[in-house]
Amino acid sequence: MVFEYAPAPESTAIVDIAPSYGLFIGGEMVDPRDGALFKTVNPATDEVLSEVVAAGPEDVDRAVTAARDAYEHRWSRLSGRDRGKYLYRLARLVQERSRELAVLESIDNGKPIRESRDVDLPLVAAHLFYYAGWADKLGYAGFGPDPRPLGVAGQVIPWNFPLLMLAWKIAPALAAGNTVVLKPAETTPLTALAFADICRQADLPPGVVNIITGAGDTGRTLVEHPGVDKVAFTGSTEVGRQIARAVAGSRKKLTLELGGKAANIVFDDAPLDQAVEGIVNGIFFNQGHVCCAGSRLLVQESIADDLLDRLKHRLATLRLGDPLDKNTDIGAINSQAQLDKIRELSAAGEHEGAERWSPACELPERGWWFPPTVFTGVTQAHRIAREEIFGPVLSVLTFRTPAEALEKANNTPYGLSAGVWTDKGSRILWMAQRLRAGVVWANTFNRFDPTSPFGGYKESGYGREGGRHGLEAYLDVRA
Amino acid sequence: MSERDGSGRLAVRKTYKLYVGGAFPRSESGRTYEVRAADGRFLANAALASRKDARDAVVAARKAFAGWSSATAYNRGQVLYRVAEMLEGRRAQFTAEVADAEGLDTDRAGRIVDAAVDRWVWYAGWSDKVHQVHGSSNPVAGPYFDFSVPEPTGVVAVVAPSSPLLGLVSVVAPVIVTGNTCVVVAPEDAPLPAISLSEVLATSDLPGGVVNLLTGRPAEIAPWLASHMDVNAIDLTGVADGELATDLEASAAGNLKRVVRPPQAAPDWSAEPGLDRMLAFLETKTVWHPVGT
Amino acid sequence: MSTTALAPASLADVTASNATLRRVLHGLPGVDQVGVEARAATLATRSIKTTAKQFALDLAIGMVDLTTLEGQDTPGKVRALCAKGRRPDPTDPTCPQVAAICVYGDLVPVAVDALGDSGVRVAAVATAFPSGRAPLDVKLADVRAAVEAGADEIDMVIDRGAYLAGRYLDVHDEIVATRDACGDAHLKVILETGELATYDNVRRASWLAMVAGADFVKTSTGKVSPAATLPVTLVMLEAVRDFRAQTGRQVGVKAAGGIRAAKDAVRYLVVVNETCGDDWLSAEWFRFGASSLLNDLLMQRQKLATGNYAGPDYFTLD
């Protein structure tokens, strides 16, 4: 290559990671009562970053009690205007510390700094800012003149967008007048713990936000805790199912944002170069660790060869490596477990007869990595066309007619998102009406905004996050 | 239902069957059960639906979904209004059936029928308004046009409450007005108004399969619906047994059905319903498109 | 890579009539404005540091068509510009020379004389630049005069009025005629993208120029705003990439007007690099039409060499 980009690493001097962290309960960092410590590592280097607590049942109980106390004695007594002001403070503090948080996110998660800096953090601040404005306007949200909060929200979030998912959960909950106990993912606790410090800087009343770290057991304990009035979960469909079973028969309100296997459909009259970008953004954004990733490319047969040529040409320019390098497009896989899953499904793809392709791509020696991968010759019956891989792996299928594209796109238990690429307006609307998915991106993909409701059909979950609709999850809307 | 009228004529009794896919089949199991009035009189043998009847009903509901959900809102509104018209025309029959089922005098039973008619009219009017109330245009921070529209969830299983006409109408109308199709399990002890209502539906331009009605034992049929992987949502309003409700909800998690739990207190079916029941079975779809030249 | 629009039909078939030409141009894939602008913006975030920056700055200097196109231009100014083009940084012999000096036709002899055998080429704008509003024979005489005076490259403008009116064949034929008038001189076809209004038009006009025989497609005259932009250049780069894939003939791209900062020039090079790759990363295939850009490139170059920020007083004004 003539024009080699020299390393352009973002400085890590801006972050200060403590050797160990406690739990953020009742407005302060406390030592665990029955939780043990575990390590969180940098997935790009396999180095231990810090030790955090796997909160035990007593710790969970203490957090829920703190949240209850805050709900009854502080937060529910505040005016909507004052709740809004606290949220505005949080939004501003996130903006002020956004570079620090972006670097920390990339270190703990493995995502490229370009994405944490240009996508995650701006959206985090925007989400807090958006819901801050709702806090004193709930009566205008369409859920009756005086909608009530639910109480204590138990929130469990995934590792793919750690701080963004935190914001998606905390902002509407607080705006609606609830208090929260939030559990970040096992492998990505650090930005949530940094957010605890932001709550401190904001002088948020103690107990309004509680952050307890841990793995699946901690999450289960939280979700099943009788003191929780509302459960919100983002993660795999399998865990979502378990949670739905666990809350059965209770009065807990439940919203779930689960897996997906989105079809990204490219018609022969599509703006091809932008479609290629949309495909790349659809499946290689965040290493494909995206529930709404466009993991199934459905391309009209007449342009399939041309489009794949363009796509492969484009993939050859993707830069995989150090997440903190400002030119990195593809960072590290978040964990060994996730890497194993991606490898297993990719092996199944080959085994089932699909043709595997990756651009020439050198993987770093340490850490967890997977090259951008494209499978062609995939059929609907292949596992890689049906199961969520949650990695940088694209399955390519072809179709001939709009009806066939639609049928293939909808032929999945999931229904989170879909993409349509065509320059024909009426066809976009025809497809958009019929795709059974909660978000349809037409001539674009993977766009997010706090004003825009996001969530799934079918086994991709229920409830919406974002927009006016997102408030419903945190309000008692029953007459 | 009196055996002889004033002139001494012996009445012709009606056979009460299931309503599936627009037809009135007997249970494939060949089973029936005795339905009695509130005062204990024998009224009829109702079909005792089996799990296979439930299966067939889901197939019929799924088949009807594409057409009904893509019908225009105006059209669905007119169909629901037509249901009200047909129900009004059979007021006397329903008054008698409600009186028998609930042990009410004719006046009170008549008022319940009136309320049921009015409920159809109320929901008919929502068909082309709920989108405007619940949809939105979203001012995203970028060059995109972004809007959200409500869409029907799909096939909804409904365990109807014991209020055999007004309660039934109050749980069925909000499901179908937005384009869902449904499989309804009628209240076990008072299924006859439900069967008669399906006769009204069958003559109201409602496409076959949009509403499918099963009579029998909810405790027997509902578990099959709750665990059915081609059912998208379940309304447990009529499940009085708390343990059964919990089991059904847990079972519904198998494919992440949308679940409406049984009410904590007995509902007042005469009150204005609000949007809850419609919104419970609506998805929100958000569509993005760039804005450019 | 092949495009669906121009199947292996020969170019002669394409230009058989305005209708056939239109069919091909309108059969090209559309360009989504938001998508292409987002892509360009993402590429603009590439962080080019240290050795990469060094390389990019030198590459960019070597791609500059150092330009003066003012009514008040004098032979003296052109001579000064030529001297600068030959040795942009007289204190540093490792500094590359620019690609060309770009002037109006009447000043070509001055430039030819001043540049001698330096290897810096002489480019002349012609065809009633910048508006293109003159009879064809006048435009062609303009071209011939510049070529006869020794111009190595001719920068022509297309008839935007004809293009926007859909008279593609007229535009085509005019480019062909100009091409013939150029003789051995290279032809750069200025699309004046600021007047074409849409990216679809930019892509189609690029193809039209290439089909007609352009050696380069060039964004702008510099006299119309907006001039070169990153997304417009991206669309043109996609066009030349696709055209070569289809026909085997490589065409260059010149981004002209409005590029003043070294940082911007580096962004353009990133776009070239990630759209077309190595084959276009030389002055033979990519140019900047600029004047003040050169000084900023030189200042950044000096900053890299000395570690100290440079000041404008130490570089000659053009």
CA gap A210, A90 in Å, rounded: 15
Residue to substitute from C4, C26, C31, C32, interface A, most A β-carbons within 10 A: C32
Q: Which residues contact A381 (CB under 8 A, 6 or more apart)?
A: none
Neighbours of chain B (3+ CB pairs under 8 A): A, C
Q: What pLDDT shows up at residue A266?
A: 98
Q: Which of C101, B233, C3 is nearest to A272 (CA)?
A: C3
pLDDT digits (tens, 9 = 90+) for B113-164: 999 999 999 999 999 999 999 999 999 999 999 999 999 999 999 999 999 9
Look at residue B36 in the predicted model and tell me its pLDDT: 96
Take residue A65 and report the two structure tokens written for it: 């009690």
Residue A245 CB burial class (10 angstroms; 0-12, 13-18, ≥19) = middle
For chain C, the average pLDDT equals 95
Can you tell me whether residue B72 is helix, strand or coil? coil
Q: Tokens standing for A467?
A: 């927009």
pTM: 0.96
Q: Cα(A85)–Cα(A91) distance, rounded to whole angstroms?
A: 10
β-pair partners for A39? A51
Which residue of chain C comes nearest to B290, CA vs CA?
C34
The predicted-structure confidence for C62-114, as pLDDT tens digits, reads as follows 999 999 999 999 999 999 999 999 999 998 999 999 999 999 999 999 999 99
- Mutation target to probe the A interface, by most A beta carbons within 10 A, among B228, B287, B291, B293 is B287
Q: Is the ipTM of this complex over 0.85?
A: yes
Which residues in C have their CB inside 8 Å of a CB on A? 1-4, 29-32, 34-36, 38-39, 45-53, 55-56, 59, 238, 269-270, 273-274, 277-278, 281
Residues of C annotated as part of the active site: 155, 218, 254
Distance from CA of A330 to the nearest CA of B (A): 24
Tell me if chain C has a CB within 8 Å of the CB of A278. Answer: yes
Tens digits of per-residue pLDDT, B6-32? 788 998 989 999 999 999 999 999 999
Which tens digit of pLDDT belongs to each residue from B210-241? 999 999 999 999 999 999 999 999 999 999 99
Q: Which residue has the tokens 């290689």?
A: A284
Which residue from C minimizes the CA distance to A2?
C278
Q: How many CB pairs under 8 A join A and B?
A: 114
Closest residue of A to B141, CA-based? Answer: A449
- Structure-token match 């701006």, residue found: A122
The phi and psi torsions of A290 (rounded to 5 degrees) equal -140, 125
- pLDDT of A75: 96
Q: Is it the case that residue C1 has pLDDT exceeding 70? A: no
Interface list for chain B against chain A, based on CB atoms closer than 8 Å:
70, 133-134, 136, 138-142, 144, 146, 148, 153, 232, 242-243, 245-247, 249-250, 252-256, 258, 261, 264, 271, 274, 276, 279, 283-290
Given a cut of 50, is residue C2 above it in pLDDT?
Answer: no
Strands annotated E in B126-192: 136-137, 144-152, 155-159, 181-185
pLDDT, tens digit (0-9, with 9 covering 90-100), for A440-471: 999 999 999 999 999 999 999 999 999 999 99
**Average pLDDT, stretch C279-308?**
96
pLDDT reading at C3 higher than 60: no
Query: Is C127:C165 a contact under the CB 8 Å cutoff?
Result: no
CB within 8 Å: A271 and C32: yes
For residue A1, what pLDDT is reported?
78
CA dist C246 to A317, B30, C10, C27, C242, Å?
21, 71, 11, 14, 6
Query: How confident is the model at residue C118, as a pLDDT?
Result: 97
Interface test with C, best of A117, A273, A276 (most C CBs within 10 A): A273
Residues of A with catalytic annotation? 257, 291
Contacting residues for C217 by C-beta, under 8 A, at least 6 apart: C188, C189, C191, C205, C206, C209, C210, C236, C239, C240, C251, C252, C253, C254
Residue stretches of chain A with pLDDT short of 50: 479
